[in-house]
Amino acid sequence: MRMSITTVLILVLIGLAAGILSGFAGVGGGVIIIPALIMLLGMSQFEAQGTSLAMMIPPIGILAAINYYKDGYINWKYALILAIFFVVGGYLGSKLALSISQSMVKKSFAVFIILIGVKMFFDK
């Protein structure tokens, strides 16, 4: 199954954004990856969760990812691209976070979580 260049670019951007958020605010990639896979690539909730877990396998998601894999809910190509750019984004996000005040990082993260929560709550 071939991926379009648009899909690859979306995955690169999701991976970078998740990595930046992780480096910036110290949170797991699932906060951005799962909603982004659902909203931007049309994945089901379970496929998004399984793919997100698969990209984090080394070392945190292996046991949970196995269960999603057994039920066919992992897209390995997506997980690999996300993982690569998550690492790059994590580096960039940590550099950004360390260059501004802790108070600003805390407030930025809070606003981001609220916006994502409101969006997901009101989606169909």
For the entire predicted model, the pTM comes to 0.67
**Does residue 73 have a pLDDT over 90?**
yes
Kindly report, residue by residue over 29-38, the tens digit of the pLDDT: 678 888 899 8
Under the banding of pLDDT at 50, 70 and 90, the label for residue 58 is low
Render pLDDT for 14-56 as a digit per residue (tens, 0 to 9). 989 888 887 777 676 678 888 899 889 999 888 988 888 788 7
**Which residue is listed with tokens 């066919």?**
72
Decide if pLDDT at 86 tops 80: yes
How many other CB atoms are found less than 10 A from the CB of residue 87? 14
Q: What is each CA distance from 78 to 45, 62, 89, 109, in whole angstroms?
A: 15, 16, 16, 25
State the Cα–Cα distance between residues 48 and 42, nearest whole angstrom.
9
Query: What does the alpha-carbon distance between residue 58 and residue 42 come to, in Å, rounded to a whole number?
Result: 26
Share of the chain above pLDDT 70, in %: 93
* pLDDT for the residue 72: 94
Peptide bond just before 59 cis, omega within 30 deg: yes
